[in-house]
Chain A
Amino acid sequence: GQQLNQSPQSMFIQEGEDVSMNCTSSSIFNTWLWYKQDPGEGPVLLIALYKAGELTSNGRLTAQFGITRKDSFLNISASIPSDVGIYFCAGHRTDSWGKLQFGAGTQVVVTP
């Protein structure tokens, strides 16, 4: 199946630092989504992107839909302890009927 390459695999950052992660694919996607998973819980949708070049913010989170439609980026500014978790990118192609392709996740650890 299609592969989404998400990097980095993990990040250890200090409180207050900015975080960046990205997701790339060999295929074009029509929609990019970013999820966060807290320990012991299911993923929760953070941001959805629908158009190439689109830049969308949700509080301290900013995500971009790459111009080539083969990548997406997520930035977290001024990290706080509750940003700890696993962040997943997901892509959707119109011809895959509703089925999302997920990246392997980025584990974020925030130290005081």
Chain B
Amino acid sequence: NAGVTQTPKFQVLKTGQSMTLQCAQDMNHNSMYWYRQDPGMGLRLIYYSASEGTTDKGEVPNGYNVSRLNKREFSLRLESAAPSQTSVYFCASSEGYGGDYGYTFGSGTRLTVV
């Protein structure tokens, strides 16, 4: 019954520090996504992975890198955190063609960069 699991749930970083946000899904979904949510701006796509072994940039990729480790796991890395990256980060997965079936979201990682 896990769905999409994100770790950690909360994180505070100092400017310039690096960290990796982890995401794993147990639904055998092919596609996975990373979004950030900022007040009044909805959800913006950072990176996505259509299938294992592929990754592509979304709307706001600068400052981030991703790794599709296997079919289950899709991680997001901040190499040198900046205050502008303070946000809530959501991982999502979808069965096949995600747009038609919708996404299943994790519960989010709340990141503060000071």
Which A residues are within 8 Å of any B CB, using their own CB?
Answer: 1, 4, 6, 9, 30-31, 33, 35, 40-45, 48, 50, 88, 90, 92-94, 96-100, 102-105
Contacts and interface: CB of A to CB of B under 8 A. Distances in A.
Interface stretch (B13-21, B40-48, B61-69, B75-83): B40-48
Contacts, number: 72
Contact of A104 (B40, B90, B99, B104): B40
Q: Which are the 5 A-B pairs with shortest beta-carbon distances?
A: A92-B99, A42-B105, A98-B98, A102-B42, A102-B43
Contacts of A99: 33, 45, 48, 58, 98-99
Contacts of B104: 45
Contacts of A98: 31, 48, 50, 94, 97-99
Contact of B101 (A35, A43, A48): A48
Nearest to B38: A104
